[in-house]
Amino acid sequence: MIRLRVQAIAEAKKISMTHLSRISDVEYKTVRKIFRDPGAEIGLSTLDKLCWALRVTPAELIEYTRTPPESLRGAFDDEEDEQG
């Protein structure tokens, strides 16, 4: 699962949603959506703007947990057993 750490990073830097929207040039409704749903899909240009505004790299902004997407659950059970 891929999740964006935008809210955690913004809060640690004391940056509100409104201020983040302004400094990143990302619409407020998009910032709000990401805060409410860290798994929301965003485009690379939005990711780039958020990274620039928060002064972090994409690696710092993205959290990855190795879990199969819901549509693939059960599809690779045998492969998972073989790999560990």
3-state helix/strand/coil string of 5-22: CHHHHHHHCCCCHHHHHH
Domain residue spans in the chain? 2-83
Element (H, E) at 44: helix 44-54
Q: Which residue has the tokens 């990073």?
A: 9
Per residue in 3-61, pLDDT (tens digit) is: 999 999 999 999 999 999 999 999 999 999 999 999 999 999 999 999 999 999 999 99
Domain made up of 2-83: CATH architecture: Orthogonal Bundle (1.10)
pLDDT of residue 42: 97
Predicted pLDDT of residue 80: 52
pTM: 0.79
Residue matched to tokens 């809210």? 7
Q: pLDDT category, 70, cuts 50, 70, 90?
A: confident
